[in-house]
Amino acid sequence: MSQEVAAAPRVYAVGEVVSGVRRLLEDRVGRLWVVGELRDVKRPPSGHVYFQLADDAGQLRAALFRADARRVAFEPEDGLEVLAFGDLTVYEPRGDLQLVVRALEPRGVGAFQVAFEQLRRRLEAEGLFDPAHKRRPPALPARIGVVTSPSGAALRDVLEVTGRRLPSVPLLLAPTRVQGAGADREVAAAIDALSRHTDVSVVLVVRGGGSLEDLQAFNSEAVARAIAACRVPVIAGVGHEVDVTIADLAADVRAPTPSAAAELALPERRALAGELRGAFAALATAARERLDAAAARLERAERAVAARSPQARLHLQREQLRACARALASAARGRAERGHRRLGESAARLEALSPLAVLGRGYSLVRRARDLHIVRGAEDVGVGEQLAIRVDRADLEARVERVRGRGPGEKDAF
């Protein structure tokens, strides 16, 4: 009986095993689509993106290298369910199973929509869309800046509307591409260029309708920040009425279409003429009221000045002097009349008491001729005495021939 010699088992190095598994996976599995939830997303300075693809049953390490990451339209973040397309391999230094991702798409929602929502939330958190920061476009701009494609329908719409509404307002076009790679940077640069023109009063950022992918140039952070930094108000009219872009949210005014943006930038001629007529009428009324008020103030001032002038004071003093003179004359006449009445009354009383009044009743006044002494009795005269006798309306001269006395109780002869 022959004796078999057992063959010695082959011993593999760890590297050989890992390398063999890697080649086996790459040869037998190759590239595939994997669905899972993003977890533990990391972005080192190198620009690569590392994460876990996981579901309830397990998890798989994945790497999205920088060159491929640049082509992803959204920002990978934890909790987002995605479809990952790539090469299943083994990372030999650690022996980890790994998916090298070549393409990444959100599951159920387009990548552009996810990117839009992510950017919207981030800029909104910064306050870039805050209504308090929105500016009102001027009622009548000096010049309108337009950011759009020189060959697009949006520019034709703007020219048609502005030519109809107010053709005297000039336009300044900053031509730019409105879709394609790098178009967002051109749009942002055009906005910055128009912002530096001191005669531009408002900027229109316009584009016709299109798919979400076509509108990506206006869903850019660069465009949003250029709009926020613009010196003058920005009116955005991108796409159709149902389209909403980041540029619309960042703009001071959002218009549903390019034509509507032009209408918001310019007043209609007839409406403007009506406003001007109303403003002129209001101005004229205000001017008249101010003139009337000024005239009234001037009249009051003139009266005040006239009342304080030397002529006015002299006139007033003259009037006061005349009034005093009239009062004095009246008082003097009153006093004279009262004195005249009192004098008349006194004269009447004196007349009644005067000896001369007695003469009219047949009496006479006898005085000595030599000294006009009134003879009151016989003892006042002697025989031969010259007498002056006054009777009513006459003076008599006499001489005493004889003095005859009258005893007590003896009555007059007459």
Contact 172, 202 (CB under 8 A): no
Span 290-301, average pLDDT: 88
Identity of the amino acid at 109: V
With a pLDDT cut of 70, the percent of the chain lying above it is: 90
Residue 411 pLDDT level (bands cut at 50, 70, 90): low
Mean pLDDT estimate for the chain: 84
Residue predicted with more confidence, 336 or 308: 336
Task: Say if strands 49-54 and 81-91 run parallel, antiparallel, or are unpaired.
Answer: unpaired
pLDDT digits (tens, 9 = 90+) for 321-361: 888 888 888 888 888 888 888 888 887 777 777 666 676 67
| pLDDT score for 182 | 86
Measuring CA to CA, how many Å separate 148 from each of 31, 79, 188? Answer: 42, 38, 11
The structure tokens listed for 332 are 């003097």
Phi-psi region of 192 (alpha: psi -120 to 50; beta: other; left: phi over 0): alpha
Inter-helix orientation angle 258-265/153-165, to 10°: 30
Residue predicted with more confidence, 13 or 143: 143
| pLDDT score for 92 | 76
Residue 406 pLDDT level (bands cut at 50, 70, 90): low
Residue 1 pLDDT level (bands cut at 50, 70, 90): very low
Q: Could you write out the DSSP letters of every residue in 157-209? A: HHHHHHHHH-TTS-EEEEE---SSTTHHHHHHHHHHHHHT-TT--EEEEEE--
Contact 77, 43 (CB under 8 A): no
Query: Which range, of 187-191, 287-291, 343-347, 404-408, averages the lowest pLDDT?
Result: 404-408
Residue predicted with more confidence, 359 or 45: 45
What secondary structure letter does DSSP report for 124?
Answer: H
Span 110-135, average pLDDT: 85
> What are 236's strand-pairing partners?
205, 254
* Top-ranked range on mean pLDDT: pick from 18-32, 152-166, 326-340: 152-166
| pLDDT score for 376 | 84
Residue 3 has pLDDT above 70, yes or no: no
Span 69-73, average pLDDT: 82
Distance CA 195, CA 135 (A): 14
Span 86-107, average pLDDT: 83
Residue 409 pLDDT level (bands cut at 50, 70, 90): low
Span 194-200, average pLDDT: 94
| pLDDT score for 257 | 92
Residue 108 has pLDDT above 70, yes or no: no
Span 263-284, average pLDDT: 83
| pLDDT score for 414 | 46
